[in-house]
Chain A
C-alpha cells in the first residue's frame, strides 16, 4: 500500500534493535552465529512466527486475538489424539476446526457487538478448558503421520516448520498487498466508519480475519506437536505474550491500520533472539520479560497514530 508505508525512521528502528541485539549476544557468546544455534533459533521461531502472523492481521484490523495460544494448545492435543484414528486426515481436520473456532469468535464479536478483547479472552478459558478436558496431561502421538514427521525434520539446516511459517507469512503478505481484501482490512483499521460507508462488508472482513488468525494458531499447534512428538493442553500458553509483543515491536500499531507482516517478521526475530540470547549469554532469566516490557512500550510509543486518535487511553 503506497500510503500505508510508514516513514523510514519507524521501519529502521526495529532493524536497528535487531542488529544491536545480535551484535550484543554474539559478543557475549561468539558461538551464537554458528549453524547449530541459528537452527535452534529458527526452530524456536516457528510457532511464535505463525501465531504472530495471524495476530498481525487482527491488529491491523484494529482488534486483538488473545485466544491464539489456547487454540494452538487445543490443536496440539487434538492432533495427538486423532492421528491413531484418522491418520493423515488428522492434521487437516484439526486445522479446519481451528479456522472455524477463529471464524466463530469473529461472528460473536460482530453480531453480538462484544469487543474482540472480551470474546477472545473468553476464548482462552473456553479452548484451554476443552483441551484440558480431553487430555489431562501430555499426549504422545501413538501412530505415524508422514506430514508431522516431515514437519519435525530439517533440510540443509532449515527446519521444515520454520519454512512452513515463512511460507504462511509470505502467502498472507501477498494477500494483504495484492487482494482487495488486504486494502479493505487496512481501511477498516484506519477508519472503520469510512470503510463501512464506502460499501466495504466490514463484518465479513472481520470474520475472515479472525478465521485466518485461527488457521495460523492451528498451524502453530501442529508445528509444536511435530517438534515435541506430543500434544499438551498448555503447550503454547507461554507464547501468547511474546507473539503479541513481536507484532508491536515490529512496528504494527496497536491502534490499527498501520503495519505489515514484514515488520512482524523482524519483531519475531527480535523476540526470539532475546529469548535464546538471554539463555546463551547466561543472563538471569528475569532479563527476558524485562526486556520485552521495555521494548513493547518503546515500540508502541513510536508507532501509535496520535494524529487520528487524539486522546490516548
Chain B
C-alpha cells in the first residue's frame, strides 16, 4: 500500500505582508507517520491549519486520497475523515467529554436536532478507547485535568478521522507540549497504536519524540520544506542543525561585538518561585550585559518574564534592582522601577494597533502631563530611522505595519523614553525575516551598550547565540545551566547546511 493519503501541492499563505508559507509540497502516504519540525515561525502550524480547513491557502491545492479538495470550513475537512488537534486545543467547559469530542460533527449522536445520548457516548467511547480508556464519555469536561483534556482533544481528532470508512488522517500540532512525562508517554503510545491504521502528521519541538514515533521527518524553515530524512537515518543533532541553519548564518554574517565590559549587577533574583511556573530561580544580570534565557514550552522562562513585567507576583523569593529589593504590585510599578518588558504577543500586548507609530512610541514615556506633538514627531523620526522601521510616516497606524515592524515599535517604545534599567524581551525574534532580525538584534545590543541589563527569553538556543553574552537554560521551572554563550554554542558551531 503506497497510496498518498493527503498531499499539499505548492501551498502559499500570506498574512499581511509576511508570507508564512512559500510554496509547500508535502505527501503523506497511507499508514505513514510524518514528523514536521522547524523553528517558531517556520510555518508548521499554518500548514496544518490549511490542511484542516481552518484557513484557506492563497495558492496551491490540497489533494485527499487522489481527489483535489477545497475546504470552506473546518467541518468539511472533518467530514472527509481528517482529524486536527490544534496547538492549544480549547474545550467547552460546561458540557460532557462526549459532547466535546463530537461538537459540531455529532453524526449518529444527533437526529433531527435532538441529542441521542447513548449513540453519542458510544461514538465518543470508540475514540477514547484508543487514547485513554480511563476517561468516561459522560464526565464533565471541567472536572478533567489539563493532561486528560489534551487526551480528549486527541480523541476528538481521532473521532473526526474515523467518520469515513477510509483510513483516518490525523494532524497533530504540538500534541505533547506542556504535558508531564506520563502524559507524553500516553500520547506517544496512542500514536504508536494507530500506526499503520492512520496517516499522521506530527508537529513537535521535542525531537526525541519525533524520532521515536515517526517514519519520516520533514524540516521546515521560513515557510518552506528544506530537508527530509528517514527517521531511522538521522539524529536529533542533525535535525537541530537543519532547523537552525539560517539563524547561524545570520549570526555569522552579522558578527558580534563583545569588546565592552558589563558593569555591576543590576537585576538579581534569589529563590524566586511561582508555582505553577518556576521555582527557586537564582539569576543575576549585570548592567550592559545581554543574558539569554531559554527552555521548551512550560519550562517556566515565559512565566518568569511575566513576573518581571509585574503581571504575576512571585509567591516566594526576592527580586532586587541595583541592590535594592523591589516588590512589584503591577506593571505600572515595574515601569516606575525602570523595568521595560517587550511581550511575545506583540499584536495584543506590545502595540496599540489603532494608534500611530508616534503615539505608540510615546505611550511608555511617563514624563509630563501634556502631549508635545512636535517632540513626539521628532522622537518618532529618530527611532524610525535608527531601527529602520518601514512605515509611510510617523502618523501611520501601527496595525498597517508588518509584524517585524510592529515588533520594532514595541521595542522602540522603551528605548525612546528614559533608559530602562532592565530590559526584558520575550521571544523578540519570532517570525521576523532576516533583515528585521538583524535590526532588532542591533537595537538590543545597543540598549546593553547604553547600560541597560538585558534579559532575552527565547525558545531556541540558537537564536540567543547571536545576541547574548551568557545563556541560562530552564527546564521544568528550574535553571539547569548557566554559562557563557561561546560555551553554549560551541556544540552548535557547524557548517551551515541547507538542503532545498
Q: How far is the CA of A196 from the CA of B332 in the complex (A)?
A: 7
Contact of B355 among A181, A186, A201, A202 (CB under 8 A): A186
B374-401: CB near A (< 8 Å → 1, else 0) gives: 0000000000000000000001110100
Q: Are B363 and A195 in contact (CB under 8 A)?
A: yes
6 pairs of A and B residues whose beta carbons are closest in the complex: A199-B335, A3-B356, A2-B395, A198-B364, A191-B352, A201-B332
One of A3, A177, A180, A183 near B354 (C-beta < 8 A): A3
Does B180 sit within 8 A of A, measured CB to CB?
no
Which B residues lie within 8 Å of A181 (CB)?
Answer: 369
With A179-B371, A198-B331 already in contact, 8 other A-B pairs whose C-beta atoms are closer than 8 Å: A177-B371, A183-B362, A187-B363, A190-B353, A195-B352, A197-B309, A200-B363, A203-B330
B353–A196 contact, CB under 8 A? no
Complex: how many Å from CA A5 to CA B399?
A: 14
Contacting residues, chain A, for B327 (C-beta < 8 A): none
Instruction: Check A187 against B355 for contact (C-beta < 8 Å).
Output: yes
Residues of A in contact with B (beta carbons under 8 Å apart): 1-4, 177-184, 186-187, 190-191, 193-203, 257-258, 305, 307-308
Interface size of B as a range: 20 to 34
Q: Is the CB of B349 within 8 A of A193?
A: yes
Interface string of B101-121 (1 = CB under 8 A from A): 000000000000000000000
Interface centre among B311, B332, B399 (most CB of A within 10 A): B332
Pair A2/B364 contact, Cβ less than 8 Å: no
B395 touching A194, Cβ below 8 Å = no
Given A183-B359, A195-B363, A199-B331, A308 and B371 contact (CB-CB distance below 8 Å): no
Q: Which residues of B contact A178 (CB under 8 A)?
A: 370-371
- Closest Cβ–Cβ distance, residue A171 to chain B (whole Å): 15
B343 at the interface (CB under 8 A from A): yes
| A2 in complex: contacting residue of B353, B358, B369, B413, CB < 8 Å | B358
- Least Cβ–Cβ distance between A206 and chain B, in angstroms: 12
Chain B interface residues (CB < 8 Å from chain A): 309, 311, 330-332, 334-336, 341, 343, 348-356, 358-359, 362-364, 366, 368-371, 395-397, 399, 413
Are A194 and B352 in contact, with the CB atoms below 8 A?
yes
Contact between chains at B352 and A190 (CB < 8 Å)? yes
> Hey, which chain B residues are within 8 Å of A184, CB to CB?
363
B348 & A197 in contact (Cβ 8 Å cutoff)? no
Q: Would you call B353 and A183 a contact (CB within 8 A)? A: no
A2 surroundings in chain B (CB, below 8 A): 356, 358-359, 395
Name the A residues within 8 Å of B332 (CB-CB).
196, 199-202
B364 and chain A: residue at smallest CB distance: A198
A139 to B349, CA, bound (A): 52
Q: A197: which of B343, B355, B358, B395 is its contact (CB, 8 Å)?
A: B343
21 A-B residue pairs with CB within 8 Å: A1-B355, A1-B359, A2-B358, A3-B356, A3-B359, A179-B371, A180-B368, A181-B369, A183-B371, A190-B353, A190-B355, A191-B354, A193-B348, A194-B348, A194-B349, A197-B341, A198-B364, A198-B413, A199-B335, A200-B332, A257-B354
A199 and B334 form a contact (CB under 8 A): yes
| In contact, B335 and A308 (Cβ under 8 angstroms) | no
A236 to B20, CA, bound (A): 57
Q: Are B353's CB and A308's CB within 8 A?
A: yes
A289 to B398, CA, bound (A): 40
Q: Which residues of B contact A305 (CB under 8 A)?
A: 354
A178 CA to B370 CA, complexed, in Å: 6
B351 and A194 within 8 A (CB) = yes
In contact, B370 and A198 (Cβ under 8 angstroms): no
- B354 CB, min distance to chain A CBs, angstroms: 5
Knowing A4-B354, A194-B348, say if A180 contacts B331 (CB, 8 Å): no
Name the A residues within 8 Å of B396 (CB-CB).
3
Which residue of the partner chain, among B343, B348, B363, contacts A183 with CB atoms under 8 Å? Answer: B363
**Most central of A178, A191, A257 by chain B CB within 10 Å:** A191
From B311, B336, B369, B399, contact of A180 by CB (8 A):
B369
Please measure, in the bound complex, the distance between the C-alpha atom of A193 and the C-alpha atom of B346, giving whole angstroms. 11
Bound CA span A307–B397, Å: 14
